[in-house]
Amino acid sequence: MSPWNATLIVAAVIALLLALSASHFLPYGGRSGGPAFALAKGVVLFIGVLCFILFLTEGAMLDWSAVFLADVRGMSPAHAGLGYAAFAATMTVGRLTGDRYVRRVGPKVVVIGGALLAAAGLALATLIASWPVALLGYALVGVGCSNIVPVMFSLAGKQNEMPESIAVPAITTMGYAGVLLGPAIIGFVAHATNLATALLILSVMLLGVAASARMLKMLG
């Protein structure tokens, strides 16, 4: 299928889903008050840093997983995109089933277990010289990361250091900075060392996310 036809199909599916879900949209917005944005501080800053790492992981999967599979594992460019596909598929399933899972095991288990699973998956995909194992590792990254960010966003409503209407945009901005800046940072690190080292550093940062969950008393 040509890129043009594939894009048309994706756009048609999105339009159909949008039409089917339009009746369920909220007819109102959240209450607004105070400045539109403020610098994060205290626990909001801490949550923002964690979100930066998680979004950085998503950005790495988006921009570097195929490059790693093609350049390091020797996969053909036509199939190297399967790495991101594996990540995105498990991420989607995890997000769609996440609310029930978080209620069952609790947010702290989700953050700690998810970060450990994502770190293990990234290490697995990077260290073992097998592209099927790499696909499995990327799938584990998707499972692990899928529900940590939603939990972090929910914490914005539980903290008392900043108004929720300011805390959420501050956390979101820091998080999405990971998607925008993160892949470039990984590229600089990979240029100075190699891509495997850059991805392993990211795995260590995910271990830091797991360890930091103990500091978030709001997780329960």
170-220 confidence digits (pLDDT tens): 888 888 888 888 889 999 999 999 999 999 999 999 999 999 887 776 565
- What's the confidence (pLDDT) of residue 29? 66
Q: Length of the chain, please?
A: 220
Reduced to 3 states, what is the DSSP secondary structure of residue 160?
A: coil
Position 37 confidence tier, pLDDT thresholds 50, 70, 90 = low
pLDDT tens-digit series, residues 48-106:
999 999 999 999 999 999 999 999 888 888 889 999 999 999 999 999 998 888 889 88
The answer to whether residue 94 is domain-embedded is yes
pLDDT above 70: residue 32: no
pLDDT mean across residues, the chain: 89
Structural domain total, the chain? 1
pLDDT above 90: residue 33: no
Any residues with CB less than 8 A from the CB of 132 and at least 6 apart, and which?
none
- What's the confidence (pLDDT) of residue 30? 59
Q: Amino acid identity, residue 167?
A: A
160's tokens: 């008392």
In a 13 Å sphere around the CA of 113, the CA atoms on its Cβ side amount to: 12
41's tokens: 């501080």
pLDDT above 90: residue 158: no
Question: Distance between CA 88 and CA 96 in Å, rounded?
Answer: 12
Domain that holds residue 197: 43-70+81-213
The answer to whether residue 205 is domain-embedded is yes
Question: Distance between CA 48 and CA 176 in Å, rounded?
Answer: 10
Looking up tokens 């997000």 gives: 95
Q: What is the CATH number of the domain that holds 126?
A: 1.20.1250.20
The answer to whether residue 18 is domain-embedded is no
122's tokens: 């990234």
The answer to whether residue 34 is domain-embedded is no
pLDDT above 90: residue 1: no
The answer to whether residue 25 is domain-embedded is no
The answer to whether residue 8 is domain-embedded is no
Write down the pTM of the prediction: 0.84
The answer to whether residue 32 is domain-embedded is no
Question: Beta-strand (E) ranges in the chain?
Answer: none
**In angstroms, what is the C-alpha Rg of the chain?**
19
φ/ψ region of 123 (left if φ > 0, alpha if ψ in -120 to 50, else beta) reads: alpha
Question: Distance between CA 109 and CA 141 in Å, rounded?
Answer: 16
The answer to whether residue 206 is domain-embedded is yes
Question: Distance between CA 66 and CA 173 in Å, rounded?
Answer: 26
Q: Quickly count: other Cβ atoms within 10 Å of residue 133's Cβ.
A: 14
